[in-house]
A and B are shown apart, each in its own frame.
Chain A
Amino acid sequence: MDFTLSKEHEMARQLFRDFAENEVKPLAQEVDEEERFPRETVEKMAKYGFMGIPVPREYGGQGCDILTYVMCVEELSKVCGTTGVIVSAHTSLCIDPILTYGTEEQKQKYLPDLASGRKVGAFGLTEPGAGTDAQGQQTKAVLDGDEWILNGSKCFITNGKEADVYIVIAVTGTIEKNGRKMKEISSFIVEKGTPGFTFGTKEKKMGIRGSSTYELIFTDCRIPKENILGKQGQGFKIAMHTLDGGRIGIAAQALGIAEGALERTIAYTKERKQFGKSISGFQNTQFQLADMATKVEAAKMMVYKAALKKDEYRSNPKISYSVEAAMAKLYAAEVAMEVTTKAVQLHGGYGYIREYDVERMMRDAKITEIYEGTSEVQRMVISGALLK
């Protein structure tokens, strides 16, 4: 067992850190304040291959491992949670299911544009009545000759209006399982601009406010028959497996937010003077920082372990990384919330002011406990594996 990062990973971290500091950090406050999708950053990330890090070279990607991708989301999120989730949703929720379940034709058709960042990806599972409970799905897909007709809507979709390629989960019929009638769920690739595919309202959010979160509406939206992803009826499995991977991305985002808040708090407590000395000289501050740093380090170990487990899976698909991903996301998200809350507290009144990054970070951290499976759902996944 070796906790030392390889030369490749050290260099990649430096690259992501430099890029985040120079290109992402200067925009973070503005993107949040104006609730603006940072298109110019996405274009720069596309230029340098950040939009296709774990995609094989044959499909136009960078051919790197999951750990490299995770470090990218982590470093971006250290300075801007919005930018971190753009890359995470694009890579984990759109590229990954096409790479894992797509036909060769689908991979050739979609991956080069997605991996190069010419196109942005999104994933539509959640509906007003169905989040993690995929059986609550109302969106339907009916086969009509050579086309599927989609009807229904998806809500809270990350990269919503800015994406070009969407993975959409829909009900394609009913099946009997253990004597019970259940919905048959399938997944589809839907392109922006398809007639009948429109957008609803833009969500106004507490955090990650530059991320484009929209409702997707399908009204007699016809897509080619060959755009089904995986086999008919495989949609639930694809959705759950996709979320397993997505959770590693969100865990990396949460880790980055926590690290960013900790860094700023260390710097601030050294500068801020009260009662004639820096507040870092008070034992309360020192102990708080020690606890924050310890939890961040533990979260990092869990996130990297989940990334390595997914890398193992990529060479041996019999391996499951579901529990590691759930644990990493559960822990990193809760650490992000705790660390950013303490960061605001240690900043005192200034921490509550938008001019200081920790205010934004605390708002950004909250969503990591909610999307791609709430912390409660992660506990269900973990305990389900323990008690099976």
Chain B
Amino acid sequence: MKIVVCIKQVPDTKGGVKFNPDGTLDRGAMLAIMNPDDKAGLEAALRLKDQFGAEVTVLTMGLPKAADVLREAIAMGADKGILVTDRVLGGADTWATSTTIAGALRNLDYDLIITGRQAIDGDTAQVGPQIAEHLGIPVISYAQNIKIEGDKVIVQRQYDDRYHVLEAKMPCLITALSELNEPRYMTPGGIFDACAAEITTWGRADLKDVDDSNLGLSGSPTKIAKASDKVRKGAGEKVVPDSAEDAVAYIVGKFKEKHII
């Protein structure tokens, strides 16, 4: 079985979020980590590898330093890393990103593609399903459990108060939740191997069946007008009702006013 896991290098929010004066994220000033949902997806792939002997390829799109997350993935047990990097691909929104990644994936054989549900820096949850659309394969999102039976995958898809069990024929794409599993650590020997491993680097020219008009900043329909830090919530309204009944009536009234009930 061949599995491709799409991973993203994202800023580590543990050390605090830092912004440039123009309100955009200062990525250079923040430590970078593998996106947590993607890491769970990688772990799921590695467990399938342990179970069935799959070949796991990790793929990322980003700046050259994004190769670090590929090396981390290899140190955890992935077999190969592919970095898609090119100046013309910069500034991509989810559409241009998924177009790019699909263009890269068309060069590969795969039975299963796993992506994270969403990246902690953008939180769109759009790229995984869009890749599947571009490639014309089924997608099962929000996976909290993955099983393989013959040429099918059986996935528990998380829902608000329940989960759905879905079955799909491979090849297909699954988006993983960080709750899916507890990702393994790297091993010291794995780190040394990963640093010696050759990372395949692809640019625009290596993307298959994609149009320039769908790539990079110019190919992105989404334009960011402004980015800013979270607006602090106000102090709120303080109310001191005369009785418990008045308090209940007040709260119920507010709920109705805001269409909560």
The residues of A with any CB-CB pair to B shorter than 8 Å are: 6-8, 11-12, 15, 18-19, 48-50, 53, 57, 61-64, 68, 72
Contact = CB atoms under 8 A, between A and B. Distances in A.
B48 interface: no
17 contacts: A6-B195, A8-B192, A11-B191, A11-B194, A11-B195, A12-B188, A15-B186, A19-B185, A48-B186, A49-B187, A49-B189, A49-B190, A53-B188, A62-B189, A63-B189, A68-B188, A72-B188
B195 A48 contact: no
Interface string B79-91: 0000000000000
B75 interface: yes
Contacts of B192: 8, 62-64, 68
Interface residues of B, number: 14
B71 interface: yes
B186 A7 contact: no
Interface in B185-243: 185-192, 194-195
Nearest to B75: A11
B186 to A, nearest CB: 5
A385 to B, nearest CB: 32
Contacts of B188: 12, 15, 48-50, 53, 62, 64, 68, 72
A61 B187 CA distance: 11
A48 B191 contact: no
B42 to A, nearest CB: 15
Contact of B72 (A6, A8, A11, A48): A11
Contacts of A6: 195
A18 B184 CA distance: 11
Nearest to A57: B189
A7 B71 CA distance: 10
B187 A11 contact: no
Given A8-B191, A19-B185, A49-B187, 17 more contacts: A11-B71, A11-B194, A11-B195, A12-B188, A12-B191, A15-B186, A15-B187, A15-B188, A18-B185, A49-B190, A50-B188, A57-B189, A61-B189, A62-B187, A62-B189, A64-B188, A68-B188
Interface in B130-154: none
Contact of A8 (B184, B185, B187, B195): B195
Contacts of B190: 49
From A6, A19, A49, A63, name the one whose CB has the most chain B CB atoms within 10 angstroms: A49
